């Protein structure tokens, strides 16, 4: 009978050990799964945050020029002149032909050109000629000139610059 009681105790201890190990392992696995899920979620949130920030930055300094149903979108650079121009929007102005490669208009206030790069203007460049205080939309290549600063580049609708005339509306592109 003693042998049978020993077997019973052995089986009972073995069963308890198996249950204990099962509970312990499920906790460890659960913690690993939790850690993996948390790490994956953190990476996904970080990626979403980066994507949102990039989209916000891209749109933050983007403008829309509208005239007679045509739209031109420019992405502004991060210069002082671009920022001071952006802060004056929205505006309605008269656009003028100048030379054979550009359209110009005059914002209400002169732009701050400190830290603004000089430009080597090409088709689609948005520039600012400080001596006259005019903003320039180039529809063909120009090059550079003293006092000619870069504000940005066309993103879409550049083919419409050449046909602009009369009154245009300029808005922040949100």
DSSP string computed for 29-57: HHHHHHHHHHHHHHHHHHHHHHHHHHHHH
90: preceding bond cis by omega (within 30 degrees)? yes
Q: Which residues of the chain have pLDDT under 70?
A: 1-3, 20-60
Per-residue pLDDT tens over the stretch 33-64: 555 655 565 556 556 655 545 454 445 699 99
Closest CA to 114 of 90, 130, 99, 98: 130
Tell me what pLDDT residue 149 has: 98
Find out whether 164 and 137 touch, Cβ atoms under 8 Å: yes
Per cent of the chain over pLDDT 90 is 65
Integer Cα distance of 143 and 38 in angstroms: 53
pTM over 0.85: no
Integer Cα distance of 104 and 69 in angstroms: 19
């Amino acid at each position: 009978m003693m042998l049978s009681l020993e077997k019973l105790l052995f089986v009972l201890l073995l069963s308890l050990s198996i249950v204990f190990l099962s509970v312990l392992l499920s906790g460890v696995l659960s913690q690993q799964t939790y850690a993996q899920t948390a790490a994956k979620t953190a990476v996904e949130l970080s990626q979403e945050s980066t994507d949102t920030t990039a989209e916000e930055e891209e749109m933050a300094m983007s403008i829309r020029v509208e005239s007679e149903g045509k739209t031109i979108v420019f992405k502004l650079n991060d210069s002082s002149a671009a920022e001071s121009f952006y802060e004056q929007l929205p505006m309605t102005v008269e656009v003028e032909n100048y030379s054979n490669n550009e359209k110009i208009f005059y914002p209400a206030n002169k732009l701050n050109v400190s830290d603004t790069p000089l430009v080597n203007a090409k088709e689609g460049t948005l520039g600012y000629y400080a001596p006259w205080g005019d903003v320039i939309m180039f529809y063909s290549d120009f090059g550079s000139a003293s006092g000619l600063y870069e504000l940005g580049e066309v993103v879409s609708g550049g083919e419409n610059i050449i046909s602009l005339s009369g009154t245009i509306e300029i808005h922040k592109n949100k």
